[in-house]
Amino acid sequence: MSMYKTQRGMSFFSLMIILIVAGVFLAVGMKLMPPYWDHSLVTSMMEELVEQPETKTDSPRDTRTKINKRLRINQVKLPSQDSITIDVKEGIKTLTLKYDIIVPMFYNVDAVVKFNEQYEVIIR
């Protein structure tokens, strides 16, 4: 018997299946990257704001003004103004960042990306 008749390598259909699956993962990754990139900008901005000593003495309105300026500079748009809440209780200023983004994927399939972060500034 000859060894030349055995199948070697990958068939065309198995190669196409692998390429289709890789393409779907790549497409999903490319659509989900912008919300995560914007969120990383927002979290770095919030961490920088929390570390500044002026944040301890600022009123919630002044803090919100600083946040809005930084969002505009970084060209980041949050879904609503209520995405960032500022509470002052018992000598602690709490900045809560909570929002959802709906990303259209394919036809009538959407992905929901949820973010929930909390930062504290001790006023005392």
What confidence tier does 46 reach under pLDDT thresholds 50, 70, 90?
very high
- Report the C-alpha gap between 26 and 106 in whole angstroms: 13
What confidence tier does 69 reach under pLDDT thresholds 50, 70, 90?
very high
| Residue 43 near residue 97 (C-beta atoms within 8 A) | yes
% of the chain beyond a pLDDT of 90: 64
12-51 vs 60-73: helix crossing angle, rounded to 10: 140
